[in-house]
Structure 1
Amino acid sequence: MVFGYARVSTQEQNLDRQIDSLKISGAEEIIQEKITGTKADRPELNRLLDKLRKGDIILVSDLTRLSRSTKDLFNLVEQIEKKGANIKSLKESWLDTTTPQGKLMFTFMAGISQFERDLISQRTKEGLAAARARGRKGGRKPKLDDNKKKAIYELYQQKKTTVKNLCAMFNISKPTLYKVIEQISKMKVS
């Protein structure tokens, strides 16, 4: 079975162009969706993935209809291949897992993506090691306990200490300071 998948981001947008190109290219059934591509949970795409059987093909007019990120695209193609199905993009001819060349090209692109993720991970680890060698710790700062939060609030209300000095005293950022003030204010009101 050849399935077409057409998606636009908003209800106001039109699917006609995609549907026409998918029909011309042989889609027997077209799944339509009006939802942003940045959402991981796309009900119609999930329904399509559930329907897939060995030998099926998913046609998309272009990759942006299927996925907004490389990582998401690779995960989707992996799910499709696990079911024994294939994917084909009308715009990006290199994405056609129905051919050996298409599979090779996709594998090549996946390898580049994995290489990029590995480099980022390596640089992060090297940066953390360099910071530790200089006596700094990585990761999030410890959370403020209730006593510190109350002290921040009291000092802030007294208006004798500047916001900058309060942040320095408690080793926190301005947004954190204002969150603490808001939390304590709400507690005092209730």
Structure 2
Amino acid sequence: MVLHRPEEHAGTSMALIGYARVSTEDQETISQLDELKAAGCRVIFEEKASGASRARPELAKAIAHVQRGDILVVARIDRLARSLSHLLEVIERLEVVGGHFKSLRDPIDTSTPQGKFALQVLGAAAELERALIRERTVAGLKAAKARGRVGGNPALKRRDPEAIAQLSAIRDRQYMADLLASMEAWLPKVRALRPTKSWGSVAKSLGRLGSPDQPWTADRLSRAVRRLVAEGLAEPELINPAPRKPPKDDILLVIAGIKGADPNLSLRAIAARLEDLRIRTPRGGTTWSASSVKALLDRADQAGLVPSSPPQERTSSSKAQ
């Protein structure tokens, strides 16, 4: 939630963007907010979520808010991340857009040489930590196998409802974390194509962009975008229905119906009606020209689909002219 948003980037090329977090609903972020405001943060995002979870919508919004030269500020490093790998991942995402990171109570400010050096030290420590974890995991699996123990969750094997619910929640958090980590790669292209193009067309255009393990499908892409919209991280219009492309005979019927309902409509007015109905042109476009309408209207007339005007109407029309 954005707590404080005056005019952004007014008269300056840099903005301080704050992020405050507590772990439970019972805790308050008041002290963090005071520190961030005192430091000059003009925009502050507040969140109540576990530090171990990477599926944090407000953090994603804060990162997305950062522009070139801006600094994401936290009161303490543990308010942003509980692991070095997550911290470095966030900083890397900021660097992609030319942003920086600063912790008020820690010697880390990536906009300064000293802060960058401290970050390099942390990166080396993180790599060592990952290597040690891998070694301990492999050693533990070997020891368990030697004792005849087989991995697995006993509660899940019993189909315990609570264990299944916990596993489902873990998978959902991981799914959201994956979306947050990859959205910057593929969401801009989705924004450029939706809702003009169908989910299938957009998925085909994306290929493996932001999804190196498997190509996008219409269902998977639709689900991902709908989840981001539900979390407030994407625009609701992205999930609007794509304009339908009816068969040519259906287009003739529609055009004939519009003309029959109001014979005095101009070709441009009919084109506007078709666009309002979100009906695509025979070539798949969304903008109708008067010439396209005339060509189809002539075909509809030849097929006897356009009703003839009553004699009185034609007479009165000619008198009016």
In the superposition, the TM-score normalised over structure 2's length comes to 0.40
Q: Distance in 1 between matches of 2:17 and 2:109?
A: 14
The partner residue of 1:114 within 124, 127, 133 is 127
Q: Distance in 1 between matches of 2:17 and 2:114?
A: 21
Distance 1:177 1:49, change over 3 A: closer
Task: Tell me which structure has the larger Cα radius of gyration.
Answer: 2
User: In the alignment, is residue 25 of structure 1 matched against residue 39 of structure 2?
Assistant: yes
The match for 2:69 is 55
Offset of residue 122 of structure 1: 4.8
After superposing on structure 2, the runs of 4+ consecutive aligned residues of structure 1 that deviate more than 4 Å are: 122-125, 138-141
**How is 1:37-52 mapped onto 2 (pairs within 5 angstroms)?**
37-52=51-66
Residue aligned with 1:13, SS = coil
SS of aligned partner of 2:33: helix
The two structures have a TM-score, normalised by structure 1, of 0.64
CA distance in 2, matches of 1:14, 1:176: 35
Shift of 1:124: 5.3
> 1:38-71 CA deviation, whole Å, 9 max, x = no partner?
2211111111111211101011000111112222
Higher relative contact order, structure no. (Cα contacts within 8 Å, ≥ 6 residues apart): 1
Corresponding residue for residue 104 of structure 1:
117
SS at match of 1:101: helix
Contact 2:63 2:72 in 1 (8 A): no
CA distance in 2, matches of 1:97, 1:176: 45
Residue pair 2:17, 2:73 contacting (<8 A) in 1 also? yes
Corresponding residue number in structure 2 for 1:148: none
Deviation at 1:12, TM superposition (A): 2.3
> Equivalent of 2:101, from 70, 87, 102?
87
Identify unmatched segments of 5+ residues in structure 2.
1-14, 161-321
Amino acid at match of 2:51: G
Structure 1 residues 140, 81: CA separation in 2 closer, same or farther (over 3 Å shift)? farther
1:123 to 1:5, Cα distance in 2 relative to 1, 3 A:
closer
Residue 121 of structure 1, CA deviation: 3.1
Partner of 2:48: 34
Q: Hey, what's the Cα distance between the residues in 1 that align with 2:41 and 2:81?
A: 19
3-state secondary structure, aligned to 2:51: coil
Cα offset, 1:176, TM superposition: 7.2
Counterpart for residue 179 of structure 1: 158
1:118 shift after superposition: 2.3
C-alpha change, 1:99 and 1:139, in structure 2 (3 Å) is farther
Any idea what SS the aligned residue of 2:108 has? coil
